[in-house]
Amino acid sequence: MSQLKNDRYLRALFKQPVDMTPVWMMRQAGRYLPEYKATRGEAGDFMALCTNPELACEVTLQPLRRFKLDAAILFSDILTIPDAMGLGLYFETGEGPKFHHPISSKMDVENLPVVDPELGLGYVMDAVRTIRKNLKGEVPLIGFSGSPWTLATYMVEGGSSKAFTKIKKMAFAEPQTLHLLLDKLADSVILYLNAQIAAGAQSVMVFDTWGGVLSPRDYQLFSLQYMEKIVAGLTREYEGQRIPVTLFTKNGGQWLEAIAATGCDAIGLDWTINIADAKARVGDKVALQGNMDPSVLYAPKERIEQEVSDILAGFGKGEGHVFNLGHGIHLDVPPENAGHFVEAVHKLSKPYHN
């Protein structure tokens, strides 16, 4: 980690001593920043922004110019893999992602290719290389992917869903079809994340946005076992540097012990769990990332500081905490509030590291 001017984030993931708790924000490159909106306008639309390495680099770096964040995260979308598999990703204004060719049969699954990331997703690797070069070793770069279960939900539902009836119908009526899909996706995610690591990502994260809609048994069966497969298949050391992996299941607080047993380095927490409880359950095994409710960023400065203070006190002394929001920053949060948040984490966390 010696090539970095600020390696606080990586050190925290490996539970090594730091001078203050590192902080970054999910969706820190995004719509709450006016400069992001301007760059997106220049690109034309969201996918044009994702597939342009120079513009993806620009929006990745924008929040770092404003705030003293301890990591950059690749600007991309979790649905790049299904798009590269030929499902035809597009975005409807105000409705989120959709697919022209959703998965509806076993034959659809059998016909899906496992994506060669340098071919089908070369624009992502070009973005990673461009960002690493432009970061100039200031802070580490996080690469990421969606989890197989989360990707499958979008691919089978055809877009976002509230009840997840199509994917759950597949899970219970045709489980072998769903397992075939999840296995193919896990293989693709392994290749994709390892390609990001080879291109320059110094840490990787798997976003299991929809794992929390499953029962405990089905979470293990349809989500966690495939994330465990990914963890086992990842490059954990590259060019002499250890590469940490973080798993994040939204609404996954009840399964922390099982997530920690996958061999990951860190678990992302949403705001529905108390961080002191999480640490008591798994703290010596893995680092913890989280876990302020993003809506606190609407509050006055003093209230934001109080929340930061409470979460820091909950984690307490000791290493292995990366401060973050429990999910992505909301698009109408004032940027100065995000700045207060980052400053508060750094200022208030120093007494916990000595």
Residues 285-342: tens digit of each pLDDT: 999 999 999 999 999 999 999 999 999 999 999 999 999 999 999 999 999 999 999 9
- To the query of whether residue 27 is one of the catalytic residues in this protein, the response is yes
Catalytic residue among 7, 70, 77, 208: 77
- To the query of whether residue 154 is one of the catalytic residues in this protein, the response is yes
Mean pLDDT value across the chain: 97
With respect to residue 84, please indicate whether it lies within any of the assigned structural domains. yes
CATH number at residue 117: 3.20.20.210
Binding-site residue set? 27-31, 77, 154, 209, 327
Burial classification of residue 161, based on how many CB atoms lie within 10 Å of its CB (0-12 exposed, 13-18 middle, 19 or more buried) = middle
Please state, in angstroms and rounded to a whole number, the distance separating the CA atoms of residues 231 and 146: 13
* The pLDDT value given to residue 151: 98
- The candidate with the shortest Cα–Cα distance to 277, out of 313, 308, 314, is 314
Q: Stretch 23-48: mean pLDDT, rounded?
A: 96
Catalytic residue among 9, 32, 36, 154: 154
In the chain, the amino acid numbered 335 is P
Please state, in angstroms and rounded to a whole number, the distance separating the CA atoms of residues 305 and 347: 10
With respect to residue 2, please indicate whether it lies within any of the assigned structural domains. no
* The pLDDT value given to residue 323: 98
Q: Is the per-residue pLDDT at 133 higher than 80?
A: yes
Q: Six-digit token pair at 250?
A: 């939204």
Q: Stretch 47-74: mean pLDDT, rounded?
A: 97
Are 1 and 27 contacting, i.e. CB atoms less than 8 angstroms apart? no
Number of separate domains in the chain? 1
With respect to residue 60, please indicate whether it lies within any of the assigned structural domains. yes
With respect to residue 183, please indicate whether it lies within any of the assigned structural domains. yes
* The pLDDT value given to residue 93: 76
pLDDT-above-90 percentage for the chain: 96
- The terminus-to-terminus CA distance of the chain in angstroms comes to 21
- Residues in the chain, how many? 354
User: pLDDT tens-digit profile of 76-94?
Assistant: 999 999 999 999 999 887 7
Q: Is the per-residue pLDDT at 184 higher than 80?
A: yes
- To the query of whether residue 31 is one of the catalytic residues in this protein, the response is yes
Binding-site residue set for substrate? 27-31, 77, 154, 209, 327
With respect to residue 249, please indicate whether it lies within any of the assigned structural domains. yes
Cα angle, residue 254 at apex, residues 253 and 256 outer, rounded to 5°:
65
Residues 6+ apart with CB under 8 A from 79: 89, 97, 146, 151, 154
**Domain span at 113:** 8-352
Q: Stretch 66-70: mean pLDDT, rounded?
A: 98
Are 287 and 320 contacting, i.e. CB atoms less than 8 angstroms apart? yes
* The pLDDT value given to residue 354: 83
In the chain, the amino acid numbered 261 is A
Q: Stretch 9-24: mean pLDDT, rounded?
A: 98
Which pLDDT band holds residue 72 (cuts at 50, 70, 90)? very high
User: pLDDT tens-digit profile of 197-230?
Assistant: 999 999 999 999 999 999 999 999 999 999 999 9
Q: Six-digit token pair at 138?
A: 């200031």
With respect to residue 3, please indicate whether it lies within any of the assigned structural domains. no
Asked if residue 291 has a cis previous peptide bond (ω within 30° of 0), the answer is: yes
Please state, in angstroms and rounded to a whole number, the distance separating the CA atoms of residues 354 and 351: 7
Q: Is the per-residue pLDDT at 12 higher than 50?
A: yes
Q: Stretch 38-55: mean pLDDT, rounded?
A: 95
Which pLDDT band holds residue 240 (cuts at 50, 70, 90)? very high
Please state, in angstroms and rounded to a whole number, the distance separating the CA atoms of residues 192 and 235: 11
Which pLDDT band holds residue 1 (cuts at 50, 70, 90)? very low
Q: Is the per-residue pLDDT at 174 higher than 70?
A: yes
* The pLDDT value given to residue 321: 98
